[in-house]
Structure 1
Amino acid sequence: MPVGAPLAPAERTEEQRELLSGVLGDDAPNLFSTVVRHPALFRAWLPFCLQLLAHSVFPGRERELLIIRTAWRCGSAYELAHHLELGAREGLSDHELAALTGEAAGTWSTRERLLVAAADELHANHVIRDVTWRELSALLTTEQLIELPMLVGHYVLLAGTLRSLGVPLDGPQAASTFPLQSL
């Protein structure tokens, strides 16, 4: 059995079932039902993951813009599948989603353009360039400036984990294809 195989409900220990109870229990997405194979790591990681996803200091639209761009840059079909849907729910148009995945030219506000640039720079060089940082500093709060590289970095970590472990897409998405060609 590959390491990335999700742990089926019947295979879970009581501890694993308890850990997954906060993320849909028996219906937990494959990411969670795979990482729960390492209960101690799952226990430490989940609050950080949920902080960034559910309690981000960025509005949902901007959070998803950053996550989708990162997932695409990292070639993570799993994260892209989940977050294209979330991005649409947060108000990103089909054209904007296509722009984030390299299929169209983006027409972004100044703030959004800088967030896309920051995600690209973090992916390429693991640092936001000084000029981008100066411009972002004029538009973002201190909390947003701190969270930005941590949010992008978390999704880089997830992309590497998901791809390395071979975690399959969930449900009907498993048969889908997503635009993963990086720039």
Structure 2
Amino acid sequence: MSASVPPRIPPVATAPPELEEIVGRTLVASGVMRLFLTLAHNPRLLKRFNIMAGGLLAKGLLPARERELVILRMAFRCQSVYEFGQHTVIGLASRLRRDEIDRIVLPLEEAGFPKADEALILMVDELYDVNRVADSTWSQLRDRWNEAEMLELLMVAGFYWMVAGVLNSAGVEPEAQVPGWPAGTRISER
């Protein structure tokens, strides 16, 4: 979202009192992200969104590093700078290295990831491109992940695909302190 284009759905001007209960004291104390202030227009939706996001981020089965690799690739494919920036911060705290985050925006054959990470990136690309993971990719993933983890991988990719669509369509602008795209990232005009 360009700074010269106003958001389609601006964040609420004042956080409703129930927001602290919904998103937790930590987020409110540190400055609520614009995503939550935008979703606060519909507190019931925000509450359910936070349950799902919290379940995937804080209570999931997947290692944080691999989860963030999936989210960052989906954010890039969906061209959601907000999601990419927020999850750059989370990814760095989850053992992703800066060079890995910089390479997640490259074509898979140029990115130089290990095979296990390539399978995760390919899963995201296939879901984004054709809404189905190819049998060969599925087989590679199953070498590492059990059925419960496979379902969670699909849910993480799908959930953050949805979030990117909401962010992009509502025009939620990134916070000033959140990083944007890696230098040299090519974003296609759509």
TM-score (norm 2): 0.84
Kept after mapping to 2: 8 A contact 1:77/1:180 = no
Match of 1:18 in 2: 21
The one-letter amino acid of 1:136's match is L
Equivalence for 2:43: 39
Which structure 2 residue ranges, 5 or more long, are not aligned? Answer: 1-5
Q: CA–CA distance in 2 between the matches of 1:48 and 1:35?
A: 14
1:47-78 Cα shifts (integer Å, max 9, x gaps): 11111111221111101110110000000000
Distance 1:16 1:58 in 2: 28
Q: Deviations over 1:128-168 (max 9, x none)?
A: 01111122112101111101111001111010000100011
| Distance across 2 between alignment mates of 1:177 and 1:134 | 32
Which structure has more helix as a fraction of its residues? Answer: 1
Does residue 86 of structure 1 match 2:90?
Answer: yes
| Aligned partner of 2:99 among 95, 101, 118 | 95
Q: Whole-Å Cα distance in 1 between the matches of residues 154 and 135 of structure 2?
A: 14
Alignment size in residue pairs: 179
Instruction: Please state how far the C-alpha of 1:23 moved relative to its aligned partner.
Output: 5.5
Q: Report whether the alignment pairs 1:48 with 2:73.
A: no
State yes or no: 1:158 paired with 2:167: no
**Given the two structures, how large is their TM-score scaled by the length of structure 1?**
0.87
Q: Distance in 2 between matches of 1:157 and 1:23?
A: 25
Residue 76 (structure 1) aligns with: 80
Name the Cα RMSD after superposition.
2.2
What is the aligned-residue identity percentage?
29
